[in-house]
Structure 1
Amino acid sequence: MNTLLLDSGDVDEHARFGDVIDAVEQAFAAFERGTTQMPAKSYIDLPQYNGDFRSMPAYLNTGDWDAAGLKWVNVHPDNPADHDLPTVLGTMIYSDPETAFPLAIMDGTMLTMKRTGAAAAVATDHLAVEDATTLGIVGAGVQSYTQLEAITEVRPIEEVVVSDPDEERVRRFVDAFGDRFEVRAGSIAEAGHCDVLSTVTPVEDPIVGLEDVGDHTHVNAIGADAAGKHELSDELLQSATIVIDDHEQCTHSGEINVPYGAKVLTDADIHAEIGEIVVGSTAGRTDETGISVFDSTGLAIQDVAAAHVVYEHASEADEGLPFGLIDTDR
């Protein structure tokens, strides 16, 4: 029996957004129903390299399928400038829950981008206005691309405003999507007054204020993934309907971690976890909802769900490189 090796191109090809969004939504529902196991994300902090490692194991059972895996991932912000490598690198081990056989080892970097976009799409589908046609993006790094690609699966986006102080990054983004959408550079406020806003920056001092968003904008707060990171002002968060992916992760390292730690926000300010909305036990957007914020820290169950999609499609297409990692004759 062979293990399937899947590189970034394989993951990109087989992580079809429609299927990944559906799988991630099922994972959120399973999490809410209690049919998952997801130990807390563990960190190895490496300040001498301005980076860290994170290990993210999980198992989930959706009722239709179950899956297990482990993602080993990092965040090294100096990589692009100093080593010509991505800030985030990752490796995913996807295993058969019944036998523990490693079915696949796949690129976790592309997988992370895809499942992060998919999570934002799930939240957007439940929290954005139904007729949303405009999308703002703050931060034109690699995550911005999958934010747009995923969100267009759930809303008919026509106009995109991207804000980033790096003009070259903005130019590359506009060039990548200019033939499919009306894409332009703009200020944070111009991006924030779109129907949907995704923030994908690593900042620790908030850059998006209450005055920078529209009265009914839905915000996907993606950038905060470690303690101290904080993209949205306290005033904005206090005025918004806040939905989180996981209480422990969000209060430790998500968008709300700084104001929550300072007791500016409390549990009473959190509307729901996204799983509650997916299963229908808590309402998403209603006629009374103004600004909404999805605090996305990224859950290991999302990676396993996305890996499930990739493995199934790659196996059906007979693609990837099979190799004998385990000697099954012993």
Structure 2
Amino acid sequence: MKPEKTLLLSQSDVASLLAMDAAIAAVEAAFAAHGRGEAAMPPKVYLGLPAHDGDLRAMPAYVDGAAGVKWVNSHPKNPARFGLPCVRGLYILSDPATASPLAVMDATRLTGVRTGAAAAIASKHLARPNPRTLGLVGCGVQARFLLDAHRAVYGDQLEVLTADVSREASEQLAAEARGRAVSVEEASGCDIVCASTTARAPVVQRAWVRPGAHINAMGADAPGKQELEPQILLDARVIIDDWAQATESGEVNVPLHEGALHREHIQGTLGEVVAGKLTGRGDAAITVFDSTGLAIQDVALARVLYAAARSKGAGTAFDFFS
């Protein structure tokens, strides 16, 4: 059997094909499969590049008949040094039966969308009903996807408060979101708080977090990164995305290694919550979702993108093996 040509999908292709509501549905289904033990996901591989102040990561996964791998970077100094994004990526979607490459696509926007979707799914399952305020701590590119995803779940009912070390960045996002630029303290007091910074020391303090809050800790995705004061975790019901990844590179990684937090305090994974195997919020005063970003999220969206591109005739066909 002659393999089909590989479909090449640019960032503009991905942007035109991927709607947030569809992304949330796909990612939620992937979390549920993960919670039921129906997905294959080897640990994320890090290639540290200290001479270049960054790293590269390989993220393979198989779920629901789709297989692929993401090759993505994190170079926080890219914007200042080269005028390039901190994060860019490529995704290779393969036919699991033949290993033929079905598509090679931009994973930069895919990463932003699936990360935003994961936070909104966590809020849906862990936040109290009818939240009124959304605090965005960190106002970079990822914050836009977090905002879009929460609006896909909650509509326009959320008042948006933005905070960043750059007042300009905070005010710009506030203007886009029709919200208010405030202090980190005020943003941390919202019903839902999304932290998406590159911090290696806590930026959200326990005293600022109100009873009833849900926090999505999205920024800690490598060893040594940390956004929340550890006392927040000690006082909260803590849900992670994956045990292997979170304990080594998530929000819990620093307090675990320093002995301030113990594994027994972590309740379980978001996949278990979505699959109905674990209680979500319960009677907890505060909930925290610790997100490191899972390869199952990427393959779920890559599959949706490929199907959409095929149905709409989008992308460019390319024969790698002619």
2:268 is aligned to: 272
1:304 is aligned to: 299
2:254 is aligned to: 258
2:133 is aligned to: 134
For residue 194 of structure 1, report the CA deviation from its aligned partner. Answer: 1.2
AA partner of residue 60 (structure 2): P
1:174 is aligned to: 174
Q: What RMSD, in angstroms, separates the aligned Cα atoms of the two structures?
A: 1.1
Structure 2: give runs of 5+ residues left out of the alignment. Answer: none
SS at match of 1:45: strand
Moved over 3 A (4+): none
Cα offsets for 1:171-209 (capped at 9, x unmatched):
33123222xxxx010111211111110000011110111
Which of these residues, 8, 15, 20, is aligned with residue 17 of structure 1? 20
Using the aligned pairs only, state the percent identity.
Answer: 47
Q: Distance in 2 between matches of 1:13 and 1:184?
A: 29
SS at match of 1:91: strand
Q: Distance in 1 between matches of 2:193 and 2:171?
A: 19
CA contact (8 A) 1:140 1:162 kept: yes
1:243 is aligned to: 239
CA contact (8 A) 2:214 2:286 kept: yes
CA contact (8 A) 1:80 1:87 kept: yes
TM-score (norm: length of structure 2): 0.96
2:213 is aligned to: 217
1:111 is aligned to: 110
TM-score (norm: length of structure 1): 0.94
For residue 138 of structure 1, report the CA deviation from its aligned partner. Answer: 0.4
Q: Distance in 2 between matches of 1:301 and 1:158?
A: 29
Aligned length: 318
Q: Distance in 1 between matches of 2:113 and 2:45?
A: 22
AA partner of residue 85 (structure 1): L
Q: Distance in 1 between matches of 2:114 and 2:101?
A: 21
Which of these residues, 12, 29, 33, is aligned with residue 30 of structure 1? 33
For residue 311 of structure 1, report the CA deviation from its aligned partner. Answer: 1.2
Cα offsets for 1:41-62 (capped at 9, x unmatched):
111111110001110111112x
CA contact (8 A) 1:199 1:222 kept: yes
AA partner of residue 251 (structure 1): T
Cα offsets for 1:271-327 (capped at 9, x unmatched):
1211110111111123x1211000000011110011111111121111111122233
SS at match of 2:66: strand
CA contact (8 A) 1:133 1:155 kept: no
Q: Which moved more, 1:137-146 or 1:126-135?
A: 126-135
Which of these residues, 307, 315, 320, is aligned with residue 310 of structure 2? 315
For residue 32 of structure 1, report the CA deviation from its aligned partner. Answer: 1.8
Cα offsets for 1:225-265 (capped at 9, x unmatched):
11000100011110011000001100100000000111211
Q: Distance in 1 between matches of 2:254 and 2:144?
A: 27
Q: Which moved more, 1:197-206 or 1:91-100?
A: 91-100
Structure 1: give runs of 5+ residues left out of the alignment. Answer: none
2:75 is aligned to: 76
Q: Distance in 1 between matches of 2:286 and 2:302?
A: 33
SS at match of 2:174: helix
